[in-house]
Structure 1
Amino acid sequence: MCGFCGILGPGGGLEARRRRLAAMTASFAHRGPDDSGTFEDEHIALGFRRLAVIDLETGHQPIRLEGDRAVIVLNGEIYNFRELRAELGGAAVFRTRGDVEVALRLLDRDGSGAVTRLNGMFAFALWEPGRRRLTLARDRFGIKPLFVCEEGDDLAFASELGALLAGGYPTTRRLDRRELRHYLAQRYLSPRGCALEGVRSLAPATRLEVEPGRRQETIYWQPPVAPCRATLAEAEERLACLLPGAVEGQLVADVPVGVFLSGGLDSSTLALLAARAVCGPLRTFSVGFGGPGAVSELPAARQVARLLGSDHHEILMEPAEVRTDLECILASLDGPLGDATAVPTWYMSRLARRHAVVALSGEGADEIFGGYPRQRYDTLLDRLGRVGRSAVPWGLRLAGRPVTTRLQSRLRMAPGLGRQLHWSRVFLAEELDALCREPLADERCLDALHAPLAERWRSRAAADPVNARLLTDLELFLPGDLLVKVDRMSMAHSLEVRVPYLDNAVADLLLALPGGLKVGTRVGKRILRRYAKSVLPPQVAARRKQGFDVPVAAWLRGPLREPLCDLLGEASVRRRGLWRPDAVQSLVREHLESTRDHSEKLWCLLALEGWMRAALDTPRGVAP
């Protein structure tokens, strides 16, 4: 795991470009504390910081081929590098023992289209001086980040937005108002977007090639369209053949490796398979919450750790500690992210880094196996039909359950992407209109932003309504929220986190299976649960999904009350000029008085303001 950056173009002159690159590279030293390197010619400059994980002695980057005919910087890991190296061995003399040179020689031999053969998490920049061609690419799911900024004659790129800002890109820092609306609606930016105008995130599974007279952006992989036929037993059997190998392959490292363990189905299965594959006790890491309103997973994690005989480490997050660290946590996000589970992920990563350099985590399981209740609920609304949906409020009231205005709105909506995203909506359209001092891009801009995905949703839903929901989460929530959170919070502590459920072979298997095999009427993850029952104790395999139940509402009324009133106080809101002070103060007052729970909305606004103070209010960038 590392970080890289580069400038294709003059960069304001040779010396100015060198200063820019040095500032950019230094800005993400936390991503690579072990080594650094640069490459420069008249057309391009590349910078790199390395976290040494594989091939500790000879894995220096950038890596160059003979005669400098190709140069690469790569962030991430290629898990099938040994097989690819064996294939390439007869025609190449390797100078390193790691994965990056293998990727470079494969791309040199077969062209940039060979990116489809890389099984791993990665983002890379490949420069071919003879053709003056730059290739940028990201892995299938967007596990590793890559930002791009085109300004004047320069194309600047980096593993973090903060690195672009350190290099003076973009020159003018203006919030992208369409992305701001997306963020306030869903608590994360779109996977192709960025908080700032003039900067974008290269989309997952995308390859961008730039050379004189030619520019091409290609989506090199898409999930399978037609589900393959299989029974539940056959699906479990295939999973049993693939998942252990994926876990074992992602344990390969020349440094200590551990597993994030919550005690739930996903992490317990990973931990069990990892424990079987390592020599000696497996390192496991867990985090819990202290203070009022907290529900901790530590007892469940301890139970699994005892069953595995792991070398278990845990930390109890105290609210006062969160208050002390909050500014640093929000700054480490490298962009606005309103997911409060970033906080425990930050502490888990800090704990793990004291004992390991690499950790495995369960991200991706809910998307490929079908683990979110909203996926089931939204499909159920389709089955009920219009008449059935109209009877839902009556049934809930009869059962003594509340009927919210949001649910009533959802029941009136037609099936589609809009209704699916409504389940996770933070600020509704009318609430945004009341909040913003100046109108954001209106709601139709989100429809336009999601138009290609909405079309894919319709075509998928016609064949398989469940898979349509799962693939939407795979394309939006996973790369926009979960993978961003894990990457930024772990790399803030120089920890590499790997996600075995997103192994190419495992994902290919699950994504091609019918949705009905994955999600039942009352339970999700049917295939994983069935497999887990064959390897885990029944009480673990049957455990219900909990996740990080962050007590944000209690925190904001207690230990985080002071930072809340600082970041979202009237003076701060007026100075920022984005929101109507009375609207924000109403949210704060009602929450502090416990008349309403506005914790989701307040956390989104708080995270945005915290990032803006760290990234935009502090002078950054070098003089050209």
Structure 2
Amino acid sequence: MCGITGLVVFKPESLADPQALVRTMVESLSHRGPDDVGVFRDGHVYFGHARLSIIDVEGGHQPIFSDQGDAIIGNGEIYNYVELKEALPPHPYHSDSDFEPALYAFLEKGMTAWRGMYAAAVWEKKTDTISVMRDPFGIKPLYYVSTPDYLAFASEPRALIKAGFSKGELSTQNVLSTMNLNYLPFDDTLYKDIKRYMPGQHQTLDQKTSTVKQSAAPLSFTQKRFDYHTPLETFDQIFEDSIKVHQRSDVPYGLFLSGGIDSTSILTMMARLNDKPIKTYTCGFDSNAVHDEREGAAAAARYFKTDHHETIFTYEDFVTLLPQIMWAFDDLTFDAAILPTYKLAAMAKKDVKVVLSGEGGDEVLAGYGRYRKFCRPRLLGGGRFSTNRCLSSVALKEKWQDPLLSYQDELLRDQTLTTLQKAQVADIKGWLAPDLLLKLDRCLMAHSLEGRTPFLDKEVFDFGFHLPQKYKIKNRKGKWLLREWLAKHCPVAEPFARKKGFSVPVAAWLEKDKATFVSLLQKNEGLLRLMDKGQIALGLEDARAAWPLLVYAVWYQVHIQGKDPSQDVFSILG
């Protein structure tokens, strides 16, 4: 993982010193890439790169150039770079970087040849065109500001704001969407003038004509004929291959082990593929208000004799770390799992530079309970998406328009998908990238740590998503095939036991100093722009509303008011 920035200037007179602005953007992303910096210019095209060295630590400096002078910058990893290099005609390679064969593959076949997680940009010298692209799942983030004078892009919004391409003004509607949904779907951000590149988006800019074209290389959700006669054995082969390529690294790697089915499955396969003990990391809580996953994780760690590390997220961590976590999230999700993930990343960074994680298993193999509910007959509540929203108990100063409703209605009318697949697609296209993957990216990048998600692999997805429903849901349990596989290879995981669910005890923590939180939040400028004092107090009585109210208030102090995130939560709100 790294940080990338770029600038394409259509009207040269519009910017006094474009290269200095690109350097400013790169400097603001130093936490993403502390190992090396590269800046490139050709005409009115500028690339910047802050590198976290993972593959070819010494020789993988970016931008990387082809023998014809084409250039590439990338954030992420192209896992099939070995296979790409073998399949391509001979080229004079100057490094062992994964992005060098990726560049040649792109010039011949486009981004569809890549297998990995990435946000990248390519400048083709002969045609003077620039391609900016994001992986099909949206594992790696990318943002842009577009005007008639220029297009600027960066791995995080803060870079665009720092360089002055964005004014950093908030969109009230987008803030309310984020607070109501716990995340902001699709291409909008909290800021009026900053957009996200969508998963699978491919943008081409022609400098000669100053034209911009959009295309995509999205995931295929259309029905496919299932022809695997032995699905368990086929999954084993595909999953092994995914773990194998996700372990390609020239630096130490480990695993976030929650004790759940997904991360334990990854551990099971890693143990098969590695001779040395796997480094595993688990976080629990000092509260009996929620299920603590450490026991299940420890059982799997003992079974495979891992080098296991545990930490606890306490109320004191909540008070001291929340402002620092908010600094990491210039694009915001209210997923409470940001708390333990941030502390896990800090612990893992002491030993490794790469961690594998289980995000995507539930979406690809249908693990969520809401999928089973969605598949019920309509008379029993099936076939409906939830319309519960976090701020439904609070009267807002501005009417809010739910961005999910029209998208969900369109999805319900889709005749090419099964009922279960509609529920899966809703999460994969609307929720996965702006919530779970944003959480993983920001929490890890704050500590210069790379996260990899083996379930979000094209091969695993093509197999898992198109599995017949009987292999996904059975006996009122999801991820049935994965449970069967895990029962065979790691019985200590007890994959058919009732899932206890993952939650963070934020409600219990808020109760500890509730009167103080109410007093402080009722004075918060960010919240008062959205609702009056009485509604803030009312919202804090609602468990669903209290968490986003607090998080947004702290986020506002850090990113809009410019407060020092090293302060504790009470000081920063005071």
After TM superposition, the score normalised by the length of structure 2 is: 0.92
In 1, distance between residues paired with 2:215 and 2:302? 48
Give the drift of 1:93.
1.1
Q: Residue 105 of structure 2 corresponds to which residue in structure 1?
A: 106
In 2, distance between residues paired with 1:28 and 1:51? 11
In 1, distance between residues paired with 2:518 and 2:270? 41
Secondary structure, in 3 states, of the residue corresponding to 1:31?
coil
How do 1:103-502 residues align onto structure 2 when only pairs under 5 Å count? Answer: 103-110=102-109, 114-171=110-167, 173-211=168-206, 212-229=209-226, 234-291=230-287, 293-380=289-376, 383=377, 385-386=378-379, 389=380, 411=381, 419-422=384-387, 425-428=389-392, 431=393, 434-440=394-400, 442-443=401-402, 446-448=404-406, 450=407, 454-460=409-415, 463-502=417-456
In 1, distance between residues paired with 2:513 and 2:258? 25
Secondary structure, in 3 states, of the residue corresponding to 1:422?
coil
The one of 533, 545, 549 equivalent to 1:601 is: 545
When residues 122 and 348 of structure 1 are mapped into structure 2, their CA distance, relative to the original with a 3 A threshold, is same
Q: Residue 529 of structure 2 corresponds to which residue in structure 1?
A: 577
Secondary structure, in 3 states, of the residue corresponding to 2:283?
strand
- Contact 1:466–1:516 (Cα < 8 Å) also in 2: no
Q: Quick one: which amino acid aligns to residue 488 of structure 2?
A: S
In 1, distance between residues paired with 2:502 and 2:195? 29
Q: Quick one: which amino acid aligns to residue 293 of structure 1?
A: A
The one of 538, 555, 565 equivalent to 2:509 is: 555
Structure 1 range deviating more: 286-295 or 236-245: 286-295
- Contact 2:143–2:157 (Cα < 8 Å) also in 1: yes
Secondary structure, in 3 states, of the residue corresponding to 1:57?
coil
Give the drift of 1:438.
2.9
- Contact 1:457–1:472 (Cα < 8 Å) also in 2: no
In 2, distance between residues paired with 1:548 and 1:185? 21
For the aligned residue pairs, the C-alpha RMSD in angstroms reads: 2.3
The one of 487, 490, 493 equivalent to 1:533 is: 487
- Contact 1:467–1:514 (Cα < 8 Å) also in 2: no
When residues 455 and 150 of structure 1 are mapped into structure 2, their CA distance, relative to the original with a 3 A threshold, is same
After TM superposition, the score normalised by the length of structure 1 is: 0.85
- Contact 1:319–1:555 (Cα < 8 Å) also in 2: yes
Deviations 1:361-398 (A, max 9, x none): 00000001111101111221xx1x43xx4xxxxxxxxx
In 2, distance between residues paired with 1:259 and 1:25? 29
Give the drift of 1:91.
2.8
When residues 249 and 235 of structure 1 are mapped into structure 2, their CA distance, relative to the original with a 3 A threshold, is same
Q: Quick one: which amino acid aligns to residue 426 of structure 1?
A: C
Secondary structure, in 3 states, of the residue corresponding to 2:53?
coil
- Contact 1:292–1:554 (Cα < 8 Å) also in 2: no
When residues 438 and 467 of structure 1 are mapped into structure 2, their CA distance, relative to the original with a 3 A threshold, is closer
Q: Quick one: which amino acid aligns to residue 205 of structure 1?
A: G
The answer for unaligned runs of 5 or more in structure 2 is 565-574
In 1, distance between residues paired with 2:417 and 2:6? 44
In 2, distance between residues paired with 1:436 and 1:257? 46
Answer yes or no: is 1:617 the counterpart of 2:569.
no
Q: Residue 504 of structure 1 corresponds to which residue in structure 2?
A: 458
In 2, distance between residues paired with 1:99 and 1:539? 35
Deviations 1:305-324 (A, max 9, x none): 00000000110112112211
Deviations 1:378-432 (A, max 9, x none): 221xx1x43xx4xxxxxxxxxxxxxxxxxxxxx5xxx65xx31426x3233xx4x
Give the drift of 1:457.
3.6
Deviations 1:32-87 (A, max 9, x none): 1111110013312211111111101110001122352x111100001111010011
When residues 582 and 307 of structure 1 are mapped into structure 2, their CA distance, relative to the original with a 3 A threshold, is same
Q: Quick one: which amino acid aligns to residue 176 of structure 1?
A: S
Q: Residue 60 of structure 1 corresponds to which residue in structure 2?
A: 61
- Contact 1:264–1:540 (Cα < 8 Å) also in 2: no
- Contact 1:337–1:608 (Cα < 8 Å) also in 2: no
Give the drift of 1:353.
0.7
Give the drift of 1:304.
0.7
When residues 601 and 64 of structure 1 are mapped into structure 2, their CA distance, relative to the original with a 3 A threshold, is same
Deviations 1:523-582 (A, max 9, x none): 10011111111111155322443453200100111268756643x2x2214785222221
Q: Quick one: which amino acid aligns to residue 297 of structure 1?
A: E
When residues 301 and 446 of structure 1 are mapped into structure 2, their CA distance, relative to the original with a 3 A threshold, is closer
- Contact 1:266–1:365 (Cα < 8 Å) also in 2: yes
The answer for unaligned runs of 5 or more in structure 1 is 390-410, 591-597
Secondary structure, in 3 states, of the residue corresponding to 1:468?
helix
Give the drift of 1:175.
2.2
Q: Residue 403 of structure 1 corresponds to which residue in structure 2?
A: none
- Contact 1:74–1:100 (Cα < 8 Å) also in 2: yes
- Contact 2:242–2:460 (Cα < 8 Å) also in 1: yes
Q: Quick one: which amino acid aligns to residue 422 of structure 1?
A: T
Which structure ranks higher in relative contact order (CA pairs < 8 Å, sequence separation ≥ 6)? 1
Question: Is the helix fraction higher in 1 or 2?
Answer: 1
Secondary structure, in 3 states, of the residue corresponding to 1:321?
helix
When residues 426 and 534 of structure 1 are mapped into structure 2, their CA distance, relative to the original with a 3 A threshold, is same
Q: Residue 44 of structure 1 corresponds to which residue in structure 2?
A: 45
Secondary structure, in 3 states, of the residue corresponding to 1:30?
coil
In 2, distance between residues paired with 1:184 and 1:269? 33
Counting matched residue pairs gives: 561
When residues 576 and 21 of structure 1 are mapped into structure 2, their CA distance, relative to the original with a 3 A threshold, is farther
Q: Quick one: which amino acid aligns to residue 194 of structure 2?
A: V
Give the drift of 1:208.
0.7
Q: Residue 95 of structure 1 corresponds to which residue in structure 2?
A: 94
Structure 1 range deviating more: 525-534 or 291-300: 291-300
Give the drift of 1:517.
2.5
Q: Quick one: which amino acid aligns to residue 535 of structure 2?
A: A
Q: Quick one: which amino acid aligns to residue 186 of structure 2?
A: P
Give the drift of 1:12.
6.5
When residues 365 and 79 of structure 1 are mapped into structure 2, their CA distance, relative to the original with a 3 A threshold, is same
